[in-house]
Amino acid sequence: MTLRELDDRTERTNAIRALLAGPFLDARTPEYTLVRRHEREIAGLLQATFGYQLEVGSTAARAAGPPTPTGRDRPIRVPPGSASGRRRPPDEWPAMSDRACLLLLLTLVALERSGAQTAIAELARDAERAAADVDPPVTVDFNERRERVAFADGLDLLCHWGVLTHTSGSRESYARRAQHDDEALFTIDHRRLALLLRDPAAALAATRLHELSNESERYAPTPEGENRARFERLARRLAEDPALLLADLDEDDQAYFLGQRARIEDAVATATDYDVERRREGSALICDDRAFTDVPFPTNATVKQVALLLCDGLSACGADGELSREAIRHQVNRLVAEHGDHWGRDASEPAQIASLAEAATEVLIACDLLRRLESGALRPSPLAGRFRAPSLRTAGVEP
């Protein structure tokens, strides 16, 4: 491989990583320039490996495709405003409520019908009209503060994504305070809006999840088409989920993965230039720079330090074992008794222990280190073994 070919490959890899890291790749970023430079090759790699469609607009680029099953369960989070300017990791951003997500879809329908700019009150009225057009109609009442806050969360997210730009005026009456006469003006990036959701009205009309994620029309109704769909689906899970575990696959997908494991792993590794770690339980893409993760782990945050130390207990429990929340709290109490001074926690305060245990449990679940069962019990994932404390041995000495 020549030096030029090596440079081109590095540029394509950096562009693909950036496309997979977020919903939009802004045109002002260096990676967008790389996408433009290698558009044909990148489009081919994304399609052949993940089944993603590369969509490039004048203001942004996007790798569009269906989410993984785990991805569908992740909440949509909105970056909070901060007077101090302190940056918080994405998993600490507030999660949008179901109502806010519904209002977001209604807002997208309204924006498709809008011109280059819209005032916040006008947009709210257009969203109400869109709600009335749904079958059955959706009732929206922006006289209620709770409704306005949910609506404002969607606007914050669209501003973060660059679909909207807050051009002038105030939106306080739709954000946190009682409704007044203040008015905000937004500029709409219709090109980016078109990349976000092809048909918001169809999404609103869907009554079942598979109606939103059905990709069957993309593949020929043949064994070759089914295998193509499996390959792309498994490649997406390997790249986007914390790990691809064999136990999570149905019988057909598991058989296909075991037969095509090397080919799937090589394709994902080639597209991302990350190493794939293979174990008996499954495979995982190892991203040492955390470019793909929206839940950084481990970190110096107290909750994540507690979650990391809990992995020893999870590993000892075994993949088929179960834990109650009381057992988690007991382990957290023991850890706080040992490290409480460093964390600013008191083991004699049950409320502190309960809060810390609950927060650490949610981190472990988000990282797929712990699974929540229908019974309410918790089951360690095989992935937790990767974070257990190392066992040290001295040569010639029995452990």
User: Are 363 and 304 contacting, i.e. CB atoms less than 8 angstroms apart?
Assistant: yes
Question: Three-state SS for 245?
Answer: strand
Peptide bond into 223 cis (omega under 30): no
Bridge partners (DSSP) listed for residue 277: 284
DSSP classification of residue 210? H
From residue 12, give the alpha-carbon distance in Å to each of 55, 166, 170, 218, 269: 15, 33, 42, 25, 13
Map 59-102 to HEC letters. Answer: CEEEEECCCCHHHHHCCCECCCCCCCCCCCCHHHCCECCHHHHH
Locate tokens 């890899």: which residue? 13
One digit per residue, the tens of pLDDT, for the chain of length 399 reads 788 888 889 999 999 999 998 889 999 999 999 999 999 999 999 999 999 999 998 899 999 888 888 888 888 888 876 444 456 778 888 888 999 999 999 999 999 989 999 998 899 999 999 999 888 888 999 888 889 889 988 998 999 899 999 888 776 656 655 555 567 889 999 988 988 876 666 666 666 666 666 666 778 889 899 999 999 999 999 999 989 999 999 999 999 999 999 999 999 999 999 999 999 999 999 988 877 777 888 888 899 999 999 998 887 776 667 888 899 999 999 999 999 888 999 999 999 999 999 999 999 998 899 998 888 889 998 888 888 876 656 665 555
C-alpha–C-alpha distance, residues 104 and 161, integer Å? 13
3-class SS of residue 118: strand
- CA dist 281 and 287 (Å) reads 19
Query: Which architecture, in CATH terms, is 302-387?
Result: Orthogonal Bundle (1.10)
* Tokens, residue 270: 């080639």
Beta bridge partners of 378: 323, 372
Q: What is the pTM of this model?
A: 0.84
> 4, 5, 35: which is closest to 20 by C-alpha?
35
The domain segmentation of the chain, as residue ranges, is: 3-65, 93-205, 220-286, 302-387
Does the CA dihedral 281-295-57-124 come out positive or negative? positive
Q: Which position has the token pair 């020549």?
A: 2
